Amino acid sequence: MNSSIYGGAQADLIVCDNEVYLNSFPKGWKFEPSDKELIVHYLANKIFNRPSPINKINEVNLYKFHPESLATTYKPYGKKVKEWYFYTPRDRKYKNGTRPNRAAGGGYWKATGRDKPIISKKNVVDEWINNEKKIIGYKKALVYYEGKAPRGYKTDWIMHEYRLKSMTLPINLKSPSDMKLDDCVLCKIYKKSPPKTRLETDPSTSNESYTKLELNEDFLVCDDLLSVDQNALQKYIDSFLCDPESNLGNSVTSSSVT
């Protein structure tokens, strides 16, 4: 298992096993960085080759795999909502173009909505920028579709893709006119929970046994319904609902409620 280095300017560098370190946290501690923290403390440090806080962000070419494959290969963060974090490069869709190739593992990722600008007072390259808020990067939301675009099958897999603002990238890290668009972006993927379905009531265990009321077919016929006093019939049914032991089918006729 790989080791990582984490430390401050005035502190000794600590070399330890990521898994052991993260598992040493008290119960209830979670890895839930904000959008700004992901860019400032993780993505920017990764791109500029600076020390980062210990984490379990995996390095993989995410666009070569189906998200299910990634989920079975790598350990997630979280228990209720499992999340996976990855550093990944991006390729161009067209040579010399700026659009990324979103094809991935027998399907493709499709963007939803506009990019969300990530704003911070802290410059990811140097230090503070005169205490003014600046755009340091962007967040894009995507959904995974199986099959060939544009007629793929929509899945429950969601991705949040974080990238630095292009002007902050050093010249030597900007991709030449080949098929590589970025050396590194940070992605978080998770599977959206399916909508909850309403549970069907079991008549044998529910007090609301009247929700499924079967009447004797001899009780009323269509012709009789025309001559029934509907108000009287409703009152009789209501009385039965209060006393389910009564024998509705044998005691009610059209003449008895008119």
The CATH number of domain 3-191 is 3.40.50.1370:
no
Across the chain, mean pLDDT equals: 74
Sequence-distant (≥ 6) Cβ neighbours of residue 35 within 8 angstroms: 116, 118, 139, 160, 162
pLDDT in tens, 69-111: 999 999 888 777 899 999 999 999 988 788 899 999 999 999 9
Q: Contact at 8 Å (CB) between 85 and 55?
A: yes
Weakest-pLDDT range from 38-47, 71-80, 102-111, 184-193: 71-80
Domain with CATH 2.170.150.80 in the chain: 3-191
The reported pLDDT for the residue numbered 103 is 95
Is the pLDDT assigned to residue 199 strictly greater than 50? yes
Alpha helices in the chain (DSSP H): 18-23, 35-37, 44-47, 67-73, 222-225, 230-242, 248-251
The reported pLDDT for the residue numbered 34 is 93
pTM as predicted: 0.64
